[in-house]
Structure 1
């Protein structure tokens, strides 16, 4: 993936490697959705970087998903890290406006910290 200054990009790169290692097959079978992540450095919706997490094929890439993702999430870099590490409950993030969701709510509900590899030092 191309270079990014987001902490989230490091986690997504770990996820890309994790999925490519074969561990992704189990996650793909369990989740089976495509997510687009719009991540902003500081303020929601400003200077977003976009990533596609295809949990049908087990692929993570930088840039918008080609086609229609099942769900699109918008959050700041810090909030994404907090959600993916389990420090911030995804439902609370949504209710408090720290995360915006477009698309299928049933797909969005499967977007949990369990799908991320456990980071060693984030």
Structure 2
């Protein structure tokens, strides 16, 4: 799983779990999630050392997570700290509240950004079943 992780980022563990969950999806689950989301998310996460990690969640074509920038271009880019992403993924922080307080910045399709929480929940529930 080291190919998807960055050292020094708590988000790496969550992203790796998401990657693992997507890998266990049946074709129908993949198609359902692609149909429901229909977008490409680029996550730009910075840690306390001011380093940046970039991941792409593709739920437009093939339900995958990759390390690095989106190719083709992301529909929405989400920029946040490692702590903010961890809180969003755990459900301790609402995405809308994070955005309104400046903890989360977006570029691109803001409405698609609202679907990230649902994507993280789907993966979390899939992980719990493994």
TM norm structure 2: 0.81
Q: Which has the higher helix share?
A: 2
Cα drift, residue 84 of structure 1: 1.5
CA drift at 1:105: 1.4
| Count of residue pairs brought into register by the alignment | 117
1:36-90 Cα distance to aligned partner (Å, 9 max, x none)? 00000127xx321100000121010101011210100011111101011211010
The unaligned stretches of length 5 or more in structure 1 are none
Runs of 4+ in 1 over 4 A off after TM superposition: none
Instruction: State the TM-score, normalizing by the size of structure 1.
Output: 0.86
Match of 2:13 in 1: 10
1:1-122 residue pairs with structure 2 within 5 A? 1-5=3-7, 6-22=9-25, 25=30, 26-42=32-48, 46-56=50-60, 57-112=62-117, 114-116=118-120, 117-118=123-124
Secondary structure of residue in 2 paired with 1:4: coil
> What is the CA RMSD across the aligned residues, in angstroms?
1.7
Q: Which structure 2 segments of 5+ residues have no match? A: none
Question: Shift of residue 32 of structure 1?
Answer: 1.4
Which 10-residue stretch deviates more, 52-61 or 103-112?
103-112
Q: Distance in 1 between matches of 2:72 and 2:4?
A: 21
